[in-house]
Structure 1
Amino acid sequence: MGEHYGYQELPRGGYIVATSAGRIQFGAPPETIKDTLVTEEGVPEIFVLPRAMFNWSKGINVADMEFPIYYHFFIRQQRPLVCGTMEQARSLATALQEAVFGPKDFDLQDDLIDIGDDVFVPDIRPELAFFRGELDLKSLFRFRPFQDGRLSAGNVTITEKDGDFEVFDNGGIIARVPGAVQYMPKIDVGRTLPEPFIPPRFGVTCLGPSHGFDPTDNTSGFIIWLNHNGVMVDPPVNSTEWLLKSNVNPKFIDSIILTHCHADHDAGTFQKMLEESRITIYSTKTVMESFLRKYSAFSGESPAYLRKLFSFQPIYIGRPVMIHGGEFDITYALHSIPTIGFRLGFQGKSFVYSSDHQGDPEVQAKMFQDGVIGRDRYDQLRDFPWDSDVIYHESGIPPLHTPLKFLASLPEDVQSRAVVYHIAEKDFNAIGETALQRATFGIENTLYFETEPSRYEDAYRALDLLKRLDFFESLPIKKVQEFLSIIEHRHFKRGDKIIEEGSRGDYFYIIASGNASVMKANLVRQKQLGAFEYFGEVALLTNSTRTADIVADTEIDAIAIPRNRFVNFVSGTEFGRILQRVIDSRDEKIWNLLVESETFVRLTDYQRMWMETCLQPQAIPGNSTIAAQGDVLPGLYIVQDGEVIVAKDGEEVGTVGRGEAIGMLDHILRDASSGFTFSTAEPASLLYLSRDDAADFVERNPGIATRIESRYS
């Protein structure tokens, strides 16, 4: 592969080459339009799709043409030129169909549970047709395919070579551009909290107040806190990094509400699916199926495969759904694609989110008069819950969004409860003096609702800790009852030594909030513990002394279980068997290997600790074949010591050394045959993760298969 040169790298990823035909952008990770909008030259008119349209390691679509196309068509009234293969053209067309016009064939009756009562189901297909008008995909952009690895635009020729792109202008080469595109997040965090954030009983945190065309502010997204758990609504890209930099443990977020499939609302959802634990996504079947078709097109994986990466909880029209004690009642908004908004009730308080919505009464009346919407739908749209305690209402450019002037015309009492969202600061300020307020992002600006603890709150929080642990699903109800009767609540200050090495083990601990470190001399890096993680089990179950110091890095709230109660609680349970396995297999050498290895760099400490318990040492003699080309690998191998020779079609092509993996989890779980032969010339020590353990690991951490990289599989 040759040297790369002749291009400018955009802050968020992608490359720009200046040519006689204009600037050409290679790759389009999310929000790169914000990078080019602020340049003197503006947004390029020519785009080249990267070799791989989806970056699995980061869960990001790096061919996100949605907003560049919107910008050129709706703002500049021109069609950009998109270049790629014919296969990419078909994938892009499928994805843009869902994002721009909505599904070709759908029925909102699928979003209804019919139990004989009268629930109004709107027919939104005429609404989508109204916003679409005479548009089709061909009217939005031009596509030019590579033919035999080359294409031309004016005096510029682009060729594919060795996985990269070469750019020629007037016959001479001017650039060699990488064929693979990375994504570099660029987010504004606000103020980082000095202590870890403790989620409130009921609150709202804005992750971003603006829209996808605003280069000065974060794109929209927010968290609803309910019973001290987080529900993300349309998470923006790299929302987890935002949380970490804000000193918020991402594990507090266990679910997502997906409202619709525009890029500024769904780009971060896929990314959340690939993080530490299995996420639950709440949406209607109509929206979810559209999302799966869109990201199947970009990722190249089937909708059936993508469904395995998360837990889906359908929301139905007219059937409120309970999430962490909050009651969500959804309605379909007035928008260009199927879009849901909702009203939330919790302990006598109410919150409404309009979602992307054309809320102008004049537009709605005109649509009613023209027969686009019927009387029942018109009445439903007019009956917006303006009486809610907090009104999160979007605003933006008509016809797809609610004009700010309408919100500014509302009674002052309503304005005082309204938070305007999805709008640039300059556009909000242009309206002048009102009682409206613009959404303010940042964990320090979290909106808190005044509520009282319910009579069951302590039990709810304890059970919330329990359900996050590895063994929850195997516990019978009587054990859950026992858990509530044996726990004690403890608080530790920063710097407190919770456990001292060499001391007798008296308690088992589960962290509810805060962070701690495992201090042990033999570790190359200390283990970090956070919310929903446990420690102290080894000394209790082996009647030995503590093997490490555990020190509070922050203020910590924890649940503690005395030794005798804990031993009785886990006896004969799956959790007891898991803990015994942890005790038998825990090895500082394995931990150090997983920490030092580039192969496992994207794993969290919790994932490394879990993997540490599953790995089985294997001694491989010299001159041995581990797996032959064409075989199905029985599991994942990691080289601990020694070297493994890699051959293809009888020819040596490389070696695998310490810390590197043989096989890829995704291939192993699909029973895919190996493309290489793996053998040893000298004795080697390997670590083995069986297929069954790998399947269990991936079931709990769906994104893990994309975070362990192997050069050979």
Structure 2
Amino acid sequence: MLEVIKLPRGGYVITSEGKLVVQIGIPPETIKDTIKLFGEALQYYIVPKRLIDTTSFLNTAEIEFPVYYNYFVKKRKTFILCAKEQENILKVLFKESLIGPEKIEEDDFGSNVECDIQSEMLFFRRKDQKNKNDLFETENSVEFINIEKDLFIEDIKITRIGEEIFFFRNNKQEELVFEGKKLDSLPYDFSLGLKKPFDRKKLENFTFPRFGFTCLGSSNGFDPEGTTSGFILWINGKGIFIDPPAGAFNELEKNNIPISSIVGIILTHCHADHDAGTLQSMLRGNKVRIYTTKTIWKSFKTKYKGLLNVDDNFFDSLCETSFVKVHKDINIENAIFRFHYALHSIPTIGFTVEFENKTLFYSSDTFVSERTKLLLDEGIISKERYNFTMNYFKNFDYILHEAGGGIIHTDISFLDFETRKDQYVYAFHCPEKDYLNYTNSHGLKGNLLYPKQGVENTVSIISQKRLSKFDVITSVKLFLDLPLRNIKNLEYNSEFEEYGPGETIIEEGDTKNKDFYIITEGYINLFTSGKLYKEYLVFDFFGESAILTKKGRSATIIAGENGCKVLRIDGQSFLENIKDTKLHDKLKHLAEIRSKDTWDIFLTKYFEDFTPSMKLYFEMILNYEEYQKGTIIWSNENNQKGFFLIEGRIIIETKNKKIIISSDNTKYLFLGDIKNILLSTDNTIKEIKILSEKATFFSVAKEDIKNYFYDYPIILPRLSYYTEIIIDKNGN
């Protein structure tokens, strides 16, 4: 009998009489789970069928850190069971993160910058840093095994049959026990599932700083007790993710911070503990701008395009990119940034920021150690680069410096220097216990701090004034195209209101309250017919339908458990100021389309974890259509719309199969080639035709969904994946 243990971050570990056998699925940071549960990482791993989980958008084959742990800590190889086509993808990924890119782009550098990144990378590949002739190669640490063949781990045989994985011992099938239940096998394809429920935090009077930072994680990729380093840098009340850890959006949601407050991501380098959350954020959130060098961006795309089965153009369509040059000033949100290449095993950027006479330094991963002098002595780095790495950070007001130790990171003792009273050093990328061990055994010379995680511990270097009415209104995407004079009129006819925990704001059926509301703090619960339907967060809005339809309220709105604050806009003023604008037409259309029960479509997997605003903006582009039997709604010549099946039967014809779909078992299935619509790829669906006497659909026009995709890239992988699954599993 074998025991199956589900890991908190996803994936399963198989044990035999307490002995580790194999792990199935490798989402980011599951190595922390196994170290916490078993005291070590496993040596054998099975890569699941899907390399990206389409609910969380996390990599399910994060092999980097298990391989690092086994090779550098346990001095042994890691064995990866995967399909042959997956092997090639993972080899490229691992080489890019371990060895680094083959070429450093000349465009990365400003004028008069001397920096030999390739030679520095070779130094860090040495098995012994004093021996330049013995370099680490990927095959030293990992071996790939074809999952189509049987594998023996001691006396246990692992066999994949179709979509299931079976275990045998002495030619007899082994029984699996999972949470007290007996199983014959485990699925080869699995989902990380829904995110875990959480309690929302109550933040009293929190405003986004004018300049400051919020720590999302402060530890490294091996610490089972800590979250991997990453933070939000706040400038003028707008957030920039710096290497967001996996699940960073959950932290925002727990704190009622809207995704729309994040306007950019700085990608420092392509190690999994720094870029896994970046990939997730690009796919999960609103469209943002990526700041990095051309070399790092190319490396990122090379690393992940195989996992997603896309080309380079896919990444460029997900985000806007601003390529930075090292040691050259760049203005980001009215702050002056200057990037530099850190001293690390692969191309890595750190940066400095100057904003309103305050300065901040971020090291990223870098090598500040007694052994750094080895690079100087061998002529790999210049004296100027050595002094920059070892001392330049000491000139800044706020210093966010990694202190990971080991052979490629910074020794925390070098961060302990005599600071000014108004100067602060934060030790990132190290376990808190390591920080405490150092501080308890040494008398600190200056303000060396350990960053506290969470929005409630945000370091506000320059405080933001309280949000004005104008700030609130202009933070809502809905009003972006409204003339300034109309916005000022709305501002004049609005008031802030505060509601206690569980207090009713709107009552279902009420015909007197015709006002429009924007949430400014906390969250609300929306109920229909006494049933909780969804939550609304900061900068979400409600109340527009009753104003336009002149009907009673369609739902009850109740303040969340910590209460909420809203900006209440007079309904008549709202109506007058959107009159004769595109917004009026959009909202009128929204009210009309909602009469067709559009809410049900957002209960499907396509829209799982979408914010209320993301759902509403999609609802605005839906249309209702009916077609008669024999109508062809999609072909090579007729591909200007996508469809969601409401009622009826249709037949889909691809190049090699035909599939009959009925709304009886696949209601709201998306129909059409979304990649063809959004990316102009070759059309993979020859024809979609109506089989029933009549069929009804929600449709989306090509230009409308392209505009939506520009703001919310998540729609592409969601619509493509779930429809492809249906087509793969059905028809002949």
- TM-score class, shorter: 0.7 to 0.9
Query: 685, 690, 712: which is aligned to 2:696?
Result: 685
Q: 1:502 to 1:426 in 2, by over 3 A?
A: same
Secondary structure of the residue that 2:401 maps to in structure 1? strand
1:165 is aligned to 165
Q: Offset at 1:546?
A: 7.0
2:237 is aligned to 228
Query: 117, 122, 125: which is aligned to 2:115?
Result: 122
1:142 is aligned to 143
Query: 481, 488, 499: which is aligned to 1:494?
Result: 499
Q: 1:630 to 1:227 in 2, by over 3 A?
A: closer
CA contact (8 A) 1:12 1:185 kept: no
1:344 is aligned to 353
CA contact (8 A) 1:202 1:451 kept: yes
**Paired residues for 1:128-527 under 5 Å:** 128-133=121-126, 134-146=135-147, 149-152=149-152, 155-174=155-174, 176-183=185-192, 192-193=201-202, 197-360=206-369, 362-408=370-416, 410-411=417-418, 413=420, 417-431=424-438, 432=440, 433-435=442-444, 436-451=448-463, 462=470, 466=474, 469-470=477-478, 472=480, 479-480=483-484, 483=487, 487-488=491-492, 490-494=495-499, 501-503=510-512, 505=514, 510-516=518-524, 525-526=532-533
Q: Offset at 1:247?
A: 3.6
Distance 2:86 2:349 in 1: 30
Secondary structure of the residue that 2:685 maps to in structure 1? coil
2:13 is aligned to 16
CA contact (8 A) 2:301 2:312 kept: yes
Query: 684, 698, 701: which is aligned to 2:712?
Result: 701
Distance 1:697 1:170 in 2: 56
Aligned-residue RMSD, C-alpha: 3.7
| Of 510-519 and 77-86, the range deviating more from structure 2 | 510-519
2:97 is aligned to 99
| Of 440-449 and 210-219, the range deviating more from structure 2 | 440-449
CA contact (8 A) 1:515 1:555 kept: yes
Distance 1:434 1:246 in 2: 36
Matched residue type, 2:336: E
Q: Offset at 1:22?
A: 6.0
Q: 1:385 to 1:647 in 2, by over 3 A?
A: closer
Q: 1:528 to 1:53 in 2, by over 3 A?
A: closer
Distance 1:302 1:259 in 2: 22
Q: Offset at 1:73?
A: 0.8
Q: Offset at 1:470?
A: 4.7
Distance 1:40 1:639 in 2: 48
**Paired residues for 1:624-663 under 5 Å:** 624=630, 634-642=640-648, 655-657=662-664, 659-663=667-671
2:726 is aligned to 712
Secondary structure of the residue that 2:368 maps to in structure 1? coil
1:70 is aligned to 68
Secondary structure of the residue that 2:87 maps to in structure 1? helix
Matched residue type, 1:694: I
CA contact (8 A) 1:462 1:484 kept: yes
Q: Offset at 1:326?
A: 2.7
Matched residue type, 1:612: E
Secondary structure of the residue that 2:393 maps to in structure 1? coil
2:730 is aligned to none
Q: Offset at 1:651?
A: 7.2
Matched residue type, 2:726: Y
**Paired-residue identity, %:** 28
Q: Offset at 1:69?
A: 0.5
TM-score with structure 2 length normalisation? 0.84
CA contact (8 A) 1:471 1:574 kept: no
Q: 1:498 to 1:417 in 2, by over 3 A?
A: same
Aligned residues: 689
Query: 625, 638, 641: which is aligned to 1:618?
Result: 625
Give unmatched runs, 5+ long, in structure 1.
Answer: none
| Of 678-687 and 367-376, the range deviating more from structure 2 | 678-687
1:58 is aligned to 56
Distance 2:316 2:301 in 1: 8
CA contact (8 A) 2:245 2:277 kept: yes
Distance 2:363 2:637 in 1: 54
Secondary structure of the residue that 2:414 maps to in structure 1? helix
Distance 2:59 2:355 in 1: 36
Q: Offset at 1:595?
A: 4.3
CA contact (8 A) 2:506 2:513 kept: no
Query: 585, 594, 619: which is aligned to 1:587?
Result: 594
Q: Offset at 1:598?
A: 5.0
Q: 1:58 to 1:672 in 2, by over 3 A?
A: farther
Q: 1:221 to 1:557 in 2, by over 3 A?
A: same
Q: 1:293 to 1:470 in 2, by over 3 A?
A: farther
1:661-701 deviations in Å (ceiling 9; x for gaps): 14263465346333785544354432222333222222221
Q: Offset at 1:169?
A: 3.4
CA contact (8 A) 1:416 1:437 kept: no
1:213-246 deviations in Å (ceiling 9; x for gaps): 0111211111122222222211111111122223
Q: Offset at 1:520?
A: 6.0
Distance 1:519 1:53 in 2: 37
Distance 1:625 1:451 in 2: 61
Secondary structure of the residue that 2:144 maps to in structure 1? strand
Secondary structure of the residue that 1:160 maps to in structure 2? strand
CA contact (8 A) 1:428 1:438 kept: yes
Q: Does 1:39 align with 2:37?
A: yes
Q: Offset at 1:384?
A: 1.5
Secondary structure of the residue that 2:499 maps to in structure 1? coil
Secondary structure of the residue that 1:93 maps to in structure 2? helix
| Of 61-70 and 341-350, the range deviating more from structure 2 | 341-350
Matched residue type, 1:135: F
Distance 1:547 1:485 in 2: 27
CA contact (8 A) 2:93 2:302 kept: yes
Matched residue type, 1:687: F
1:537-576 deviations in Å (ceiling 9; x for gaps): 55666788877676655432538488558745x4554434
Distance 1:86 1:414 in 2: 59
| Of 92-101 and 541-550, the range deviating more from structure 2 | 541-550
Distance 2:353 2:196 in 1: 28
Matched residue type, 1:199: F
CA contact (8 A) 2:351 2:361 kept: yes
CA contact (8 A) 1:62 1:181 kept: no
Q: 1:9 to 1:142 in 2, by over 3 A?
A: same
Secondary structure of the residue that 1:618 maps to in structure 2? strand
Distance 1:650 1:54 in 2: 26
1:332-371 deviations in Å (ceiling 9; x for gaps): 11111111111122222222111111122x3333311211
